[in-house]
C-alpha cells in the first residue's frame, strides 16, 4: 500500500509544505509571509488561522485533495523536553503548543495546524510532530554544569541529526539503535551530538551558549569575560543578540554567508583564520563527544548547509578522522525527515509516542 503524507514546517516569515508519496516528494512550496501580512497578529499563536487558510488555499490551487492524506506531520515546537520520536498530537500537546514553556516560536503552529486539518478531513488520518529541538536524552551526568543554579539543557537540531543517523545506519545495513555515532549539524547554529545506541546522551546547547561558534552564534565563551561584558553598560537584549544572531562569524566578518567566507578565505588571511577557527572548534567538540562514547565510535557524520563546503569538511575530517570514518551528508531536509517519521509509523516500523 502506498501512503500520502503532508508535512508542515512554519518558520518566522514563511511556512513550508510538502507532500510525499511514500519516500518520494511529489509537491513542495514555501509560502512567504511579509511583515505587513503578519503585522495584524500580535503573537505567533494568533497567526494560526491565517497560516492554516494559506496552506489549504495553496493545496486546493495545486489540485490536491486533503482527503487523500494518510498522515499530517507538523514541525514540533518549544514544548517540554521529550524523548526523540514521533508524537501523535493529543490534548496535552495542544495545550503546551498553545502555551509554550520554552518560548514562543512559529514552529509551535506546526502540530496545531496539522491536527486541525486532520480533524476536518474526517478520513482517519492522524496528526503528528517529530523530533522537535527540545528532544532531551541527556544522561544525568551530562546535565551537571558546574554550578547548581545552572543546569545544562538539550536544545539541538534533533530532527536532522536523527534522520541523518538513521540514513547512515540504513546504508550500512544496521540499526541506528546498534550504533555509536557522532553527528555534527552545521548551519546557522552548530550542534554536535553523541548518539549512543539510538539516544543522544550528550550534545551542546546549539541555541544560546555552548559548543562551537557558528555563522551567527557565539557558542561557548569565556565566562569571566562574559560577566564583565554584562556589566559594561550593554543591555540584556544587546548581550543576547551578541550570543545569538550577531555572534560567531558575522561578528568577526560582518557576514553569515559561509559561501562568501569560503570564497574569500584563500586570498584573505582574516577570512581564512575565522573559517579555520570555526572548523577547529567543531573538530574539538567532536573529540569531546568521542570521549563521551569512550572511544567506541562507529562513524562521524557531518551534515547541514555548511557541509557543502569542501575546505570546511576537509579541515574537520583531518582533525577527527583518526577517531572513526567520516561521512558527509550536506544540506538538511527537514520536510523529508518529518515525512519519513510519519511513513515509519504508517508502515508499523515505529510506534508513535504519547506526550
pLDDT tens digits for range 3-62: 999 999 998 778 999 999 999 999 999 998 887 898 899 888 899 999 999 999 999 999
Please state the three-class secondary structure of the chain as a single string: CCCEEEEEEECCCEEEEEEEECCEEEEEEEEECCHHHHCCCCCCHHHHHHHHHHHHHHHHHCCCCHHHCCEEEEECCCCCCECCCEEECCHHHHHHHHCCCCCCCCCHHHHHHHHHHHHHHCCCCEEEEECCCCECCCCHHHHEEEECCEECCCCCCHHHHHHHHHHHHHHCCCCHHHCEEEEEEECCCEEEEEEECCEEEEECCCCCCCCCCCCCECCCCCHHHHHHHHCCCCCHHHHHHHHECCCCHHHHHCCCCHHHHHHHHHHCHHHHHHHHHHHHHHHHHHHHHHHHCCCCCCEEEEEEHHHHCHHHHHHHHHHHCCCCCEEEEEECCHHHHHHHHHHHHHCCCCCCECC
- Number of domains composing the chain: 2
Q: Does the pLDDT of residue 102 top 80, yes or no?
A: no
78: domain CATH number is 3.30.420.40
Do residues 322 and 338 share a domain? Answer: no
Indicate whether 266 belongs to any domain.
yes
Half-sphere exposure (Cβ direction) of 93: Cα atoms closer than 13 Å: 26
Q: Domain for residue 149, yes or no?
A: no
Cα separation, 59 vs 55, in Å, equals 6
What is the C-alpha separation between 213 and 224, in angstroms, rounded? 18
Instruction: Examine the domain organization and report whether 98 and 191 are in the same domain.
Output: no
Whole-number pLDDT of residue 212: 98
Residue 2 has pLDDT above 90, yes or no: yes
In a domain, 267, yes or no: yes
Looking at the DSSP assignment, which residues form a beta bridge with residue 21? 4, 24
Predicted confidence band at 306 (pLDDT cuts at 50, 70, 90)?
very high
| Structural domain of 29 | 4-130+334-346
| Residue 170 and residue 266 share a domain | yes
Q: Would 323 be classed as within a structural domain?
A: yes
> Do both 188 and 318 map to the same domain?
yes
Q: Are residue 17 and residue 125 in the same domain, yes or no?
A: yes
> pTM score, two decimals?
0.85
Of the pLDDT bands very low, low, confident and very high (cuts 50, 70, 90), residue 63 is very high
Tell me if 107 is assigned to some domain: yes
Amino acid at each position: 500500500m502506498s501512503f500520502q503524507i503532508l508535512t508542515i514546517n512554519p518558520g518566522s516569515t514563511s511556512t513550508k509544505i510538502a507532500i510525499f508519496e511514500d519516500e518520494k516528494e511529489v509537491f513542495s512550496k514555501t509560502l512567504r509571509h511579509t511583515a505587513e501580512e503578519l503585522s495584524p497578529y500580535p503573537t505567533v499563536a494568533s497567526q494560526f488561522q491565517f497560516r492554516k487558510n494559506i496552506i489549504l488555499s495553496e493545496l486546493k490551487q495545486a489540485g490536491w485533495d486533503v482527503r487523500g492524506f494518510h498522515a499530517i506531520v507538523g514541525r514540533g515546537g518549544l514544548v517540554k523536553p521529550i524523548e526523540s520520536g514521533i508524537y501523535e498530537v493529543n490534548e496535552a500537546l495542544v495545550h503546551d503548543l498553545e502555551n509554550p514553556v520554552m518560548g514562543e516560536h512559529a514552529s509551535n503552529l506546526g502540530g496545531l495546524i496539522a491536527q486541525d486539518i486532520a480533524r476536518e478531513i474526517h478520513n482517519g488520518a492522524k496528526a503528528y510532530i517529530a523530533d522537535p529541538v527540545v528532544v532531551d536524552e541527556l544522561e544525568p551526568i551530562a546535565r551537571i554544569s558546574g554550578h547548581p543554579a545552572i543546569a545544562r539543557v538539550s536544545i539541538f537540531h534533533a530532527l536532522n541529526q536523527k534522520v541523518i543517523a538513521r540514513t547512515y545506519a540504513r546504508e550500512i545495513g544496521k540499526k541506528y539503535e546498534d550504533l555509536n555515532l557522532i553527528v555534527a549539524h552545521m548551519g546557522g547554529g552548530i550542534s554536535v551530538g553523541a548518539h549512543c545506541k539510538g539516544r543522544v546522551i550528550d550534545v551542546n546547547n546549539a541555541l544560546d551558549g555552548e559548543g562551537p561558534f557558528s555563522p551567527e552564534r557565539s557558542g561557548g565563551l569565556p565566562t569571566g569575560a562574559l560577566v564583565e561584558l554584562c556589566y559594561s553598560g550593554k543591555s540584556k537584549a544587546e548581550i543576547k543578540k551578541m550570543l545569538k544572531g550577531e555572534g560567531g562569524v558575522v561578528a568577526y566578518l560582518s557576514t553569515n554567508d559561509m559561501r562568501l567566507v569560503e570564497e574569500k578565505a584563500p586570498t584573505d588571511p582574516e577570512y581564512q583564520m575565522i573559517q579555520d577557527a570555526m572548523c577547529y572548534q567543531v573538530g574539538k567538540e567532536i573529540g569531546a563527544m568521542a570521549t563521551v562514547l569512550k572511544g567506541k565510535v562507529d562513524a562521524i557524520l557531518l551534515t547541514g548547509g555548511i557541509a557543502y563546503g569542501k575546505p570546511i569538511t576537509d579541515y574537520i575530517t583531518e582533525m577527527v578522522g583518526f577517531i572513526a570514518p567520516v561521512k558527509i551528508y550536506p544540506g538538511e531536509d527537514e520536510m523529508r525527515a518529518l515525512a519519513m517519521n510519519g511513513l515509519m509509523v504508517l508502515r508499523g516500523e515505529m510506534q508513535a509516542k504519547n506526550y
